[in-house]
């Protein structure tokens, strides 16, 4: 895995925003290296651009997620089992059966590979509009938060992120869930009766 990370850095880092976009797009549908491999070094090299980089990663990740969604429609479960374990597929399937599109927003923040959720969304024919909205919220919460922290605190925040990444993603996931619940509650209470 270290050799793939190094190759990713050597090949894509010199491309700047384009490299960041390509890796982020690919990671959402098939590539094993997370966007942070490029997001962090680029942001640290130029903290004033960290929010821009976070935005690039978010958009590319959502577009890549839509590509993964269509891979799921076309390739289905056999494709998914080629890129991840049956155990992770079963875990994601349980989440989809319980939470539907809500699982996507939460998955966008967690250490479970996002590509598993994007492809599974296609397999289960999750509503594409819901999928895109949940992806924007979840991926934006993750990558824009990272960009904002580097913009505000610079290099010293990186050690904090490395050592507390799981706790940070759990906290952000809880905030996203709270946002979804409040939005859904507000929408249902203010929708006109027909």
* Three-point CA angle 143, 138, 104, nearest 5°: 140
In this prediction, residue 191 carries a pLDDT of: 59
In this prediction, residue 77 carries a pLDDT of: 80
Q: What is the pTM of this model?
A: 0.78
The answer to whether the beta carbons of residues 54 and 147 sit under 8 Å apart is yes
Residue with tokens 């619940």: 181
Q: Dump the DSSP string for 51-116.
A: HHHHHHHHHHHHHHHHHHHHHHHHHHHHHHHHHS-HHHHHHHHHHHHHHTTHHHHHHTTSSS-HHH
* Sign of the torsion angle spanned by Cα atoms 53, 1, 7, 120: negative
In this prediction, residue 159 carries a pLDDT of: 79
The answer to whether the beta carbons of residues 143 and 54 sit under 8 Å apart is yes
In this prediction, residue 190 carries a pLDDT of: 64
In this prediction, residue 58 carries a pLDDT of: 96
| Alpha carbon distances (Å) from 145 to 39, 54, 108, 149, 171 | 12, 8, 13, 6, 12
The answer to whether the beta carbons of residues 126 and 100 sit under 8 Å apart is yes
Instruction: Give CA–CA dist 90/112, Å, rounded.
Output: 12
The tens digit of pLDDT for each residue in 66-77 reads 999 999 998 878
In this prediction, residue 23 carries a pLDDT of: 95
In this prediction, residue 69 carries a pLDDT of: 93
Give the three-class secondary structure for 13: helix
Question: Which stretches of the chain score pLDDT less than 50?
Answer: 194
Domain boundaries, the chain: 2-187
In this prediction, residue 146 carries a pLDDT of: 87
């Amino acid at each position: 895995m270290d050799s793939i990370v190094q190759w990713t850095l050597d090949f894509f880092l010199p491309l700047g925003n384009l490299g960041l976009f390509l890796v982020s797009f690919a990671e959402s549908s098939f590539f094993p290296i997370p966007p942070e491999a490029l997001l962090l070094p680029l942001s640290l090299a130029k903290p004033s651009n960290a929010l821009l980089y976070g935005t690039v990663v978010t958009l590319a990740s959502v577009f890549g997620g839509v590509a993964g969604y269509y891979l799921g429609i076309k390739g289905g479960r056999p494709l998914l089992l080629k890129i991840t374990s049956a155990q992770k597929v079963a875990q994601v399937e349980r989440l989809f059966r319980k939470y539907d599109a809500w699982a996507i927003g939460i998955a966008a923040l967690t250490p479970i590979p996002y590509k598993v959720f994007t492809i599974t969304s296609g397999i289960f024919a999750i509503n594409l509009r819901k999928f895109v909205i949940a992806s924007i919220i979840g991926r934006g919460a993750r990558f824009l938060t990272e960009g904002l922290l580097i913009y505000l605190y610079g290099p010293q925040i990186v050690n904090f992120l490395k050592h507390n990444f799981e706790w940070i993603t759990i906290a952000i996931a809880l905030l996203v869930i709270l946002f979804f619940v409040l939005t859904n509650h507000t929408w249902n209470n203010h929708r006109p009766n027909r």
